[in-house]
Structure 1
Amino acid sequence: MKESKKMPAIDPAQADFAGSSETGGRISMKLRELYDSIKEEAIPDRFLDLLEKLDEAEKSASAPKGRKDRA
Structure 2
Amino acid sequence: MPGLPDPSTEEVQHELDRITDHLAERFDTERVVVHRYVLDSYNQLAEGATVRAHLLALTEHAVRDRLSQRSP
User: Relative contact order: is structure 1 or structure 2 higher (C-alpha 8 Å, sep ≥ 6)?
Assistant: 2
Structure whose alpha-carbon radius of gyration is higher: 1
Higher helix share: 2
**TM-score normalized by the length of structure 1:** 0.33
